[in-house]
Chains A and B, each alone.
Chain A
């Protein structure tokens, strides 16, 4: 008897569950829709457009284009300016990220300690992240100005530069890249510091205490306890930093405009110069497409890390 009565109850319950599941699915789709629409309209579609345009003779002053195959890519690869920009992009990304991680670690560890004025220091460290890059770069432009450099003035006063000696920060390819990296590091440091600080504070005290009981030395603690436990966050910081740096053009564009003689361009700034300022949209798109392989690798790594660590 009980079995006979239970059947309709089960059916009702299962229908309800099914309804809830359907509602959840609908709700899920509705919740995801804005993000998906955003990704489609502002990421996927422009990306597809860039791929198409890179195969065309499209120009800024026209909506028409013809397909010209891989000619843009052939011309671009032939160009010494492009090859220099490609090299610069890797140097810029690698050097600035390495510096940011090292300095970020130092700052994060310093901020773990308790000292007077800590909140002011923390505020000052975060300032570069909050300052609009265009305004900040204008200040840096003055600091590194070739004729009226504040940096040179300080070096003169401190005796580093003798009479007749002068650094042409923005007029020399090597010093120009150095100036770009310095500003980018200054700009990215707060982001890295905050993430690393979060990682450091998330390590339970007990773990350090256990390491102390086991008589672990500072190196063993750093490399066998702290680093492995911070690795997920560190990886996220590095990956975000690399993607951000690899695609960034603002510092280059505002500081050197790619000069002297197009020697400090990175791929993004060169793509802007050729595609938007020069009006050769096809060529600009083909230069930007060279960012793709690295970004794909970064994306795959990010997804792997996020899956493995469930950090994201």
Chain B
């Protein structure tokens, strides 16, 4: 076993020395936090002063830096390589690949569970590695990923409440095309190399009974269920989509819905909030559906965003960082309100009414969340437009379902192995069988590598 630091020392210690000196120079009583730039900008306007205020109350100078969501991982890579940077780093997906360089936050998690009761299962499954038994990250919030649809359009085709099953999309697409020939993409589900598409194809895969891994970490992508999902994607693409969905970025489906160029997308409420903020008439026409059901009734959707705060091992302010994370979960109500109900607390108990008994905290927190969604304080018409989101937990799951999130799942996500497979099958660039074979080869290579590093389990029942 070698490491890059040894290599660098052997070949040029000059590079390393300034980094170490810089690290030693970091002052105690400071805390540097790296955050994403939230999809709802109002959240950042709350978070930054809140963090500073918390720091001031503790005699700690808190600095918050924001990066675009696409730069979260590259920035982490750079900081690990330099062994220097922020104390706390927020991931919006999986932080599992960085497990080795972060401290165990089990103590923080236990403190919070004592205070508020257990966190939601999908948050636990996104931040804990059962194989290494390490709580490598802490989640304060997650974001549901419902379907967003234009009620007027779906009412015209006799489905005023939007689609219920994946098959409904195939049935509806030609009808929508007939009624609205001007609409470019009747069904706007991305099949591109972006975060939303990555979630959408997983939803499809899971609802058809397939998955990348089983609950024990065995690779099970190669299955009749996956083939069925790919066949379905091909059918849906042929009747309801265009090549546009192959090129979408994270903002494209929002823009298409708000411009009425599509009638259904899979997204959080950000598209809707953007329409509201910009006073677009379409805002009143956007409604939400729960996750769609597959042929055997499986109804699942990936979380849209899952915060995963890590504290780097190289941080000199680890205790302050842990305190900060506890305080952030304490502020779950403010966080949800500041994000205009985009963020949902990972610890429902943290949203409970003050003074609630411990055994009632989760229930009380859930009731407060439901109250917000049932009567949106941000001007929804009707006010209960977001009511369905309060019931999103049962149909929301983590990346890595039915197992835990792990670095292999993270790498498959970040290198678009699944979106590649679905897009090739849907467009006919490859047959579903060949697309599956190609993706299976790559998936197995990735899992093999991480198993060798002893960070992922399974392997005995790979197919």
Q: What is A's interface to B at a CB cutoff of 8 Å?
A: 40-41, 45, 48-49, 52-53, 56-67, 75, 78-81, 145-148, 166, 168-172, 176, 256-263, 273-274, 276-280
Asked whether A277 lies within 8 Å of B243 as measured between CB atoms, the reply is no
Beyond the given A166-B184, A171-B246, A259-B416, could you list 11 further A-B residue pairs with CB under 8 A, ordered by the A residue number? A61-B100, A63-B101, A64-B2, A66-B452, A67-B2, A168-B242, A168-B244, A168-B247, A172-B246, A256-B247, A280-B449
Q: Whole-angstrom distance between the alpha carbons of A63 and B8 in the complex? A: 11
Q: Within the complex, what minimum Cβ distance (angstroms) separates A300 from chain B?
A: 25
Q: Give chain B residues whose Cβ lies under 8 Å from the Cβ of A78.
A: 441
Asked whether B247 lies within 8 Å of A277 as measured between CB atoms, the reply is no
Asked whether A276 lies within 8 Å of B74 as measured between CB atoms, the reply is yes
Q: Give chain B residues whose Cβ lies under 8 Å from the Cβ of A278.
A: 411, 414-415
Asked whether A261 lies within 8 Å of B243 as measured between CB atoms, the reply is no
B26 interface residue (CB < 8 Å to A): no
Asked whether B97 lies within 8 Å of A61 as measured between CB atoms, the reply is yes
Tell which of A60, A146, A273 touches B247, judged by Cβ atoms closer than 8 Å: A146
Tell which of B83, B97, B191 touches A60, judged by Cβ atoms closer than 8 Å: B97
Q: Which residue of A lies closest to B188 (CB)?
A: A147
Q: Give chain A residues whose Cβ lies under 8 Å from the Cβ of B83.
A: 63
A63-B80, A79-B442 known; A257-B194 Cβ under 8 A: yes
11 contacts between A and B (CB under 8 A): A41-B15, A56-B2, A67-B2, A79-B442, A146-B246, A147-B255, A166-B242, A170-B246, A170-B247, A171-B243, A277-B414
Q: Within the complex, what minimum Cβ distance (angstroms) separates A81 from chain B?
A: 7
Asked whether B14 lies within 8 Å of A41 as measured between CB atoms, the reply is yes
Asked whether A59 lies within 8 Å of B453 as measured between CB atoms, the reply is yes
Tell which of A49, A81, A169, A171 touches B4, judged by Cβ atoms closer than 8 Å: A49
Asked whether B192 lies within 8 Å of A260 as measured between CB atoms, the reply is yes
Q: Give chain B residues whose Cβ lies under 8 Å from the Cβ of A79.
A: 442
Asked whether A57 lies within 8 Å of B255 as measured between CB atoms, the reply is no
Asked whether A171 lies within 8 Å of B242 as measured between CB atoms, the reply is yes
Stretch at the interface among B112-120, B152-160, B418-426: B418-426
Asked whether B80 lies within 8 Å of A61 as measured between CB atoms, the reply is yes
B280 interface residue (CB < 8 Å to A): no
Q: Whole-angstrom distance between the alpha carbons of A75 and B191 in the complex? A: 25
B407 interface residue (CB < 8 Å to A): yes
A168-B243, A257-B193 known; A276-B77 Cβ under 8 A: yes
Q: Give chain B residues whose Cβ lies under 8 Å from the Cβ of A256.
A: 247
- Per-residue A-contact encoding for B1-24, CB less than 8 Å = 1, 0 else: 111110110011011000000000
Q: Give chain A residues whose Cβ lies under 8 Å from the Cβ of B101.
A: 61-63
Q: Within the complex, what minimum Cβ distance (angstroms) separates A62 from chain B?
A: 5
Q: Give chain A residues whose Cβ lies under 8 Å from the Cβ of B242.
A: 146, 166, 168, 171
B383 interface residue (CB < 8 Å to A): no
Asked whether A262 lies within 8 Å of B193 as measured between CB atoms, the reply is yes
B248 interface residue (CB < 8 Å to A): yes
A147-B259, A260-B192 known; A52-B411 Cβ under 8 A: no
Tell which of A52, A168, A259 touches B193, judged by Cβ atoms closer than 8 Å: A259
Q: Whole-angstrom distance between the alpha carbons of A41 and B5 in the complex? A: 15
Q: Within the complex, what minimum Cβ distance (angstroms) separates B414 from chain A?
A: 5
Q: Give chain A residues whose Cβ lies under 8 Å from the Cβ of B429.
A: 261, 263
B99 interface residue (CB < 8 Å to A): yes
Q: Within the complex, what minimum Cβ distance (angstroms) separates A28 from chain B?
A: 22
Q: Give chain A residues whose Cβ lies under 8 Å from the Cβ of B14.
A: 41
Tell which of A65, A259, A277 touches B74, judged by Cβ atoms closer than 8 Å: A277
Q: Which residue of A lies closest to B98 (CB)?
A: A61
Asked whether A65 lies within 8 Å of B193 as measured between CB atoms, the reply is no
Q: Which residue of B lies closest to A65 (CB)?
A: B2
Q: Ordered nearest first, which 8 A-B pairs have the shortest CB separation?
A: A171-B243, A260-B246, A170-B247, A168-B243, A146-B244, A61-B98, A278-B415, A171-B247
Would you list which residues of chain B between 393 and 452 have a CB under 8 Å from chain A? 407, 410-411, 414-416, 419-420, 423-424, 427, 429, 438, 441-442, 445-446, 449, 452
Tell which of B76, B80, B244 touches A171, judged by Cβ atoms closer than 8 Å: B244
Asked whether A277 lies within 8 Å of B420 as measured between CB atoms, the reply is no
Asked whether A52 lies within 8 Å of B7 as measured between CB atoms, the reply is yes
Asked whether A57 lies within 8 Å of B449 as measured between CB atoms, the reply is yes
A61-B98, A171-B246 known; A147-B252 Cβ under 8 A: yes
Asked whether B424 lies within 8 Å of A279 as measured between CB atoms, the reply is no
B286 interface residue (CB < 8 Å to A): no
Tell which of A45, A148, A166 touches B255, judged by Cβ atoms closer than 8 Å: A148
Asked whether B97 lies within 8 Å of A49 as measured between CB atoms, the reply is no
Q: Give chain B residues whose Cβ lies under 8 Å from the Cβ of A274.
A: 415
Q: Give chain B residues whose Cβ lies under 8 Å from the Cβ of A49.
A: 4, 7-8, 11
Asked whether B3 lies within 8 Å of A65 as measured between CB atoms, the reply is yes
B73 interface residue (CB < 8 Å to A): yes
Q: Give chain A residues whose Cβ lies under 8 Å from the Cβ of B261.
A: 147
Q: Which residue of A lies closest to B197 (CB)?
A: A259
Asked whether B4 lies within 8 Å of A277 as measured between CB atoms, the reply is no
Q: Whole-angstrom distance between the alpha carbons of A140 and B423 in the complex? A: 24
Q: Which residue of B lies closest to A170 (CB)?
A: B247
Q: Which residue of A lies closest to B422 (CB)?
A: A261
B185 interface residue (CB < 8 Å to A): yes
Q: Whole-angstrom distance between the alpha carbons of A49 and B245 in the complex? A: 39
Q: Within the complex, what minimum Cβ distance (angstroms) separates A59 from chain B?
A: 6
Asked whether A168 lies within 8 Å of B246 as measured between CB atoms, the reply is yes
Q: Whole-angstrom distance between the alpha carbons of A40 and B14 in the complex? A: 11
